[in-house]
């Protein structure tokens, strides 16, 4: 069975590099460049995991996460906050809003694969 990861990220280079790593590890990858499109794609694709950036134009990652967790169609999908920012409040907020994990970029490919496999049942 093919496992799908949805990347919601506004930086094209990060999408491409993340997609290359995950596809090489056998995952199918979908992407969206903003929160609104990401929510729509999550409803449609029903991915096994979502990697979600925080700082994006339009609705930010926090609002995107809140909406994903509020909808029946997407509430059960594990969401990993995928951000370049590091701060304790971000870890706590992501947990409070229902994120499965918090992962820093730039990333090591092996660490990314390990993280994704950890959260896909």
pLDDT for residue 30: 97
- CA gap 27, 44 in Å, rounded: 17
SS (HEC) of the chain: CCCEEEEECCCHHHHHHHHHHHHHCCCEEEEECCHHHHHHHHHHHCCCEEEECCCCCCCCHHHHHHHHHHCCCCCCCCEEEEECCCCHHHHHHHHHCCCCEEEECCCCHHHHHHHHHHHCC
Domain boundaries, the chain: 4-119
pLDDT for residue 75: 97
pLDDT for residue 94: 85
pLDDT for residue 120: 92
CATH classification code of 4-119: 3.40.50.2300
pLDDT profile of the chain (121 residues), mean per 10: 94 96 97 98 97 94 96 96 76 87 90 95 69
Strand order in the sheet with 28-32: 28-32, 4-8, 49-52, 79-83, 101-104
pLDDT for residue 83: 86
- Give the pTM: 0.94
């Amino acid at each position: 069975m093919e496992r799908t990861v949805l990347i919601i990220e506004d930086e094209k280079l990060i999408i491409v590099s993340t997609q290359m790593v995950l596809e090489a590890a056998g995952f199918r990858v979908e992407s969206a460049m903003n929160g609104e499109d990401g929510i729509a794609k999550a409803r449609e694709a029903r991915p096994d995991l979502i990697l979600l950036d925080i700082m994006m134009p339009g609705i930010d990652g926090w609002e995107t996460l809140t909406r994903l967790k509020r909808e029946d169609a997407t509430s059960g999908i594990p969401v990993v906050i995928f951000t370049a920012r590091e701060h304790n409040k971000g870890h706590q907020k992501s947990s409070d809003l229902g994120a499965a994990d918090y992962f820093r970029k730039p990333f090591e490919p092996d660490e990314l694969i390990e993280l994704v496999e950890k959260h896909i049942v």
